[in-house]
């Protein structure tokens, strides 16, 4: 009784002390930390806003200036200096499509072939394969104007001597985006687990059968994504095309081997934008909208494709 009476308040005291400590521990963090957190989060958000603001400004400005020029004429009519209200992008659109077709014909077999060699066949302990690897990474970072000069020297003139034709433009653009395709394809091939290769080889399949029937099919979504992104880059390139003969003013439908000249979307936009008249400015803005729509659609498709068909192992 006596002992109980003495210990009860002491116990209460101990419990209260423990509770106070817990409460102190759980209470809000110091004010300084709260502020620091908020500032940091704000800075990060600012980075995102700056990144998006550029795109947003471009779209808004193009819409404001170009919406008046958007009409079926834009895709149906050739450019004209006399009638800017009727002028359009028809030869440039056709030129761009033909360029892209040529780029695809070149980069799919060569890009995938190079990736297959590097991933599946190359002995990585050999120094020259390491050199090739490093150089492909470097090539992807070379400015496009350099490829334009290369195209001019080796494709338009020089060894290939194709002249200023659309195919020469295609080849130049293809060389420009080839490293992107190789890098993306290699990543797609590397994502196919070795257990699949071993399983196939253990059944008596040859290395080529294994690649052709197991590895490549499993890598196709990744390869396709890389190809689409490469093509969307090629569509937007202007500088190399100017060097290898894309003409800024073409009023007829270009052909792949025609020597009369060809044009492409970005080149035509460039031409319109250089003119002082208000109507041509609007045309240029409308062309920008057209290209942005096409590029965003292609990139979205690439992302969708990757998410939809990517094999999860």
Partner 1 sequence: MAQDEIKPEAARQSREAAAERAAIAVRPEFRSGAEAGFKDKVFEMRGIEVLYSGVSAVKGISMDVGHNEVTALIGPSGCGKSTLLRCLNRMNDLIPTAEVEGELLYHGEDLYGPNVDPVQVRKMIGMVFQKPNPFPKSVYDNIAFGPRVLGRKEGLDEVVEKALRGAALWGEVKDRLKDNAFGLSGGQQQRLCIARCIAVEPDVILMDEPCSALDPISTGKIEDLMIELKERFSIVIVTHNMQQAARVSDRTAFLMVELDAEEHNRWGRLVEHDVTERIFTNPTDKRTEDYVSGKVG
What torsion, rounded to 10 degrees, do the Cα atoms 213, 216, 221, 224 define?
Answer: -130
Provide the 3-class DSSP secondary structure of residue 258.
coil
Q: Name the minimum Å distance from CB 51 to partner 1.
A: 36
CA 210 to each of CA 189, 197, 215, 216: distance values in angstroms, whole numbers, following the listed order: 12, 6, 6, 9
How many residues are there in the chain? 313
Q: Name the minimum Å distance from CB 304 to partner 1.
A: 19
* Distance separating alpha carbons of residues 86 and 92, to the nearest angstrom: 15
Q: Which is nearer to partner 1, 28 or 125 (CB)?
A: 125
Q: Which is nearer to partner 1, 33 or 310 (CB)?
A: 310
Residue numbers at the binding site for partner 1 (CB under 8 A): 123, 125, 193, 195-196, 198-206, 209, 213-214, 217-218, 311
Q: Which is nearer to partner 1, 163 or 193 (CB)?
A: 193
Q: Is 308 buried (19+), middle (13-18) or exposed (0-12) by CB count in 10 A? A: exposed
Q: Name the minimum Å distance from CB 208 to partner 1.
A: 10
Tokens of residue 84, six digits: 């800017």
In our burial notation (b when 16+ CB lie closer than 10 A, e otherwise), range 104-129 reads bebbbeebbebbbebbbebeeeeeee
Q: Name the minimum Å distance from CB 127 to partner 1.
A: 15
Q: Name the minimum Å distance from CB 198 to partner 1.
A: 7
Q: Which is nearer to partner 1, 156 or 223 (CB)?
A: 223
Q: Name the minimum Å distance from CB 121 to partner 1.
A: 11
User: Radius of gyration of the chain from Cα atoms?
Assistant: 30
């Amino acid at each position: 009784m006596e002992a109980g009476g003495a210990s009860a308040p002491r116990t209460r005291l101990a419990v209260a002390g423990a509770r106070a400590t817990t409460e102190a521990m759980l209470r809000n963090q110091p004010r300084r930390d709260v502020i620091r957190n908020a500032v940091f989060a704000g800075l990060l958000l600012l980075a995102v806003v700056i990144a998006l603001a550029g795109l947003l400004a471009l779209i808004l400005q193009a819409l404001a200036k170009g919406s008046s020029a958007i009409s079926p004429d834009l895709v149906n009519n050739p450019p004209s200096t006399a009638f800017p209200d009727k002028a359009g992008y028809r030869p440039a659109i056709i030129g761009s499509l033909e360029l892209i077709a040529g780029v695809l014909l070149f980069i799919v077999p060569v890009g995938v072939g190079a990736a297959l060699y590097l991933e599946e066949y190359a002995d990585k302990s050999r120094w020259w394969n390491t050199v090739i690897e490093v150089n492909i990474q470097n090539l992807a970072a070379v400015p496009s104007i350099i490829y334009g000069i290369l195209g001019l020297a080796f494709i338009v003139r020089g060894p290939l001597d194709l002249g200023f034709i659309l195919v020469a433009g295609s080849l130049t653009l293809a060389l420009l985006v080839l490293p992107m395709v190789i890098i993306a394809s290699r990543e797609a091939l590397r994502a196919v687990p070795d257990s699949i290769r071993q399983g196939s080889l253990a059944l008596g399949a040859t290395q080529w059968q294994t690649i052709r029937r197991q590895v490549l099919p499993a890598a196709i979504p990744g390869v396709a994504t890389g190809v689409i992104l490469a093509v969307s880059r090629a569509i937007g390139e202007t500088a190399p095309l100017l060097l290898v003969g894309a003409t800024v003013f073409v009023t007829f439908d270009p052909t792949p081997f025609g020597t009369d000249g060809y044009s492409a979307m970005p080149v035509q936009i460039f031409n319109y934008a250089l003119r002082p008249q208000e109507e041509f400015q609007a045309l240029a803005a409308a062309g920008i909208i057209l290209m942005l729509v096409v590029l965003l659609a292609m990139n979205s498709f690439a992302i969708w494709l990757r998410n939809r068909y990517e094999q999860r192992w």
